[in-house]
Each structure stands twice: as C-alpha cells, then as structure tokens.
Amino acid sequence: MLAQYAVRVEDSRGRRHVEPRHPYRNDFERDRDRIIHARAFRRLNDKTQVFTHRYSDHFRNRLTHTLEVAQIARTVAAQLGLNTDLVEALALAHDLGHPPFGHAGEKALDAVMREHSLFFDHNLHALRIVEDFEQRYASFPGLNLTFESREGIIKHSRDYNTAEFPELAGYCLDRRPPLEAQLIDLADEIAYTAADLDDGFESHLLGLHQIRAGVAIFDRYYREAEPLFPTALEKLKFNEALKRMMNLFVGDLIRNTQRNIEAAAVRSTDEVRAHPSRLVAFTPEVESERRRAKDFLYRNLYFSEELQPEKEDAEQTIGELFNYWMENPNSLPVTYQQKARSESLPRVVCDYIAGMTDSFIQRQYEIMKKQRLQISD
C-alpha cells in the first residue's frame, strides 16, 4: 500500500513521446527495465568507484555500487510507503552520467571544460544519456523515460535554479523533488560510506586501529562485536561492526524521515514539493556521525598518497585526450563528428569521453600516443 505522499504511477506526467500502455508493466517498471538494458548501465561495470582493478577484482565498481544503492533505497522506500518501482529506477540511474576513473575523472573533465567556459555535471550528463545518447527505439530518441524519472535523475542530489539552468525550467526547479527522489542521495551516502570503509580495509590502505580511532560509531560497534565473537577472524568482527553501523544509518533515516513527514503534515506529493526543505533526512546526531565517517574517508583514503598516482594518471589521460580531439576533431567517431556540426566541439568531446569505460579510454590513450609518434616521425 502506498502512502498518501507517495508518487502514484497513474498520476505520472507521462513521457515526451506518447506510447501505448504495456499489458503487464507499469510506466515506472518500464523505466527501470529500460535503464537496466541501456548500454550506459552496462558500462558502469568498467568504471572506477574508488579502486581500479589493479588492487583487486573484489572491490566495488560503479555498477556494484549502484546495485547496493538500489537495495538500500528499496528497503527504506518500502518502510515509508513510497513507490519502490520509481525508487529503484532512480537508484539504478543515479550514476549513469559518471565518467571513467571515478571522481578524479569527473574533476579532470570539468577542469578541461572550464577552459572553454563550460562545465561537466554528471547529473546533467545522465539526463543527456537517457534523453539522447541511448538509441534503442525506432519511434523516438533516448529511453523516453517518464517525467518523474527524468526529474529525479537531475534533482535527487542537488537543487538547480532556472536562472543558471534555463534548459531545465520544465523540471519544477522552484519546488522540491518527491520523496522517492530525495531518498536516493542519502541511500548513496550510506552505501559508499560503508563500502569504502570495507574496500579500504580490504586493500590494507586503512588499518583496523586507524578506522576505530577515526570513526567513533564504528569503534563502538566493534567493541560490541568483540565479546560476542571472541574467536572470529578480525575481518568477520569488522563485518559485524560495519553491518551494525549500516543498520544505524538506515534505521535512523527511516524513523527520522517518518517523523519529519508527520511533523510537516504532508498528505500528497504536491505538499511534499511545496515544503520549504527536504523531508528525507537523518537525525542531527546520526548525520554528525555520518559526516565524521565521510571526513575520515576523505582524509585517509580518497586523498591518500597511495591513490594519488592513479588520480594523476587519470587527469593526464583525460586532459591529453580532450585536447587531442579538440585539435583533431576528424579523429572522433563519425557520429560525434556529425554532432559537432550542431553542438559545440568541447561539449561533444566531453560527451564522448564521459561515456567511456576505464579500459576503453586507456586503449584510446595508447592509440593517440602511437598516432603522435607517427606524426613526429
């Protein structure tokens, strides 16, 4: 049973291109399925989350991270009476716009675009993917997702304004997204905080004592687990503590969001949209714990010296390839050369790079270096 404030598929604002109803799937289920079958979704399997394959094949990539976000988001949505079909579609789409090499790749791509008075935003790029780049249907470009799915892709993690982004004016930028979209950002935070502690520990870049000293909530749960499992392997006690920490985050998010909904007395999606602030939130106490864990990861893992060489390689690869294609647009694939006739070349090159997997962009980089050598010879 859906809550009063949940998005109902029968109230959807529909698709850009009208399609006949499916005999046994609703529109949000079809959105979810179209995302799963998209090429951009498959490419997430070869895009870095934090660690490249150089460390281990066991660590998360963009695809496995996305699946973990979807699992957490569905769990929370079900407890709050939200539309789990829409939530799942948004969770599966939330990282479609990320470029290769994780956040280092995103930073590098934005930097080269800034040199042309442009920028890169992975949410907006994800919208371009589902609106245009995915070519699967003879009747229309893109995936032709519902308004609610497209809106959630761009609004789940930040608020845009019409003055700065006039092209998004049709997405109700002066109003909040529905709860289904609000939920995705915090499910993402829970997923990567726990996963990056796990992968950081497995990689030996983070030590157990270091994590316990830097993440108080983890240490509290590790001390609980030790007497319960005195003979267990250290990694299994680590897992017990991490599981309890995730349960705290998820349970707090459910309970506090429910309290916020009741306090705001919202009874419809329109009232959710009109509310002055987002209603999906942790309590201040748990939000503080989450931020401490996140700060710990930034200080000790994301900006660690051990990962710095890979970040520098990523920035060099993206920067040199971008400049190469700006100078040699005829070396772009034919479809992108055609796009450059109607769109700015920097944006076209950016789109091409952003869609690449880690392994594909590395192959392109080697091809570019060989071509440069041939020219110099």
CA distance 65 to 260: 28
Confirm whether 337 is domain-assigned: no
pLDDT at 54: 63
Confirm whether 333 is domain-assigned: no
| Chain center to CA of 362 | 22
Residue (of 119, 253, 263, 130) closest to 185 by Cα position: 253
Confirm whether 364 is domain-assigned: no
The CATH number given to whatever domain includes residue 78 is 1.10.3210.10
pLDDT at 56: 63
pLDDT at 55: 64
Residue 331 phi/psi, 5-degree rounding, is -85, -10
Angle between helices 284-297 and 179-202 (to 10 degrees): 40
pLDDT at 319: 96
pLDDT at 373: 79
pLDDT at 49: 87
Confirm whether 356 is domain-assigned: no
In the chain, the N- to C-terminal Cα span, in Å, equals 70
Q: By residue range, what is the domain housing residue 275? A: 9-308
Residue (of 169, 139, 28, 10) closest to 92 by Cα position: 28
Residue (of 121, 123, 139) closest to 16 by Cα position: 139
Confirm whether 158 is domain-assigned: yes
Confirm whether 330 is domain-assigned: no
pLDDT at 42: 97
Number of structural domains found in the chain: 1
pLDDT at 152: 97
H helix or E strand, kind and range, residue 214: helix 208-214
Confirm whether 372 is domain-assigned: no
Give pLDDT tens digits along the chain (377 positions): 899 999 999 999 999 999 999 999 999 999 999 999 999 999 999 998 887 666 667 789 999 999 999 999 999 999 999 999 999 999 999 999 999 999 999 999 999 999 999 999 999 999 999 999 999 999 999 999 999 999 999 999 999 999 999 999 999 999 999 999 999 999 999 999 999 999 999 999 999 999 999 999 999 999 999 999 999 999 999 999 999 999 999 999 999 999 999 999 999 999 999 999 999 999 999 999 999 999 999 999 999 998 898 899 999 999 999 999 999 999 999 999 999 999 999 999 999 999 999 999 999 999 999 888 777 66
Confirm whether 18 is domain-assigned: yes
| Chain center to CA of 198 | 19
What's the DSSP call for residue 265? T
* The residue type at 117: S
pLDDT at 351: 96
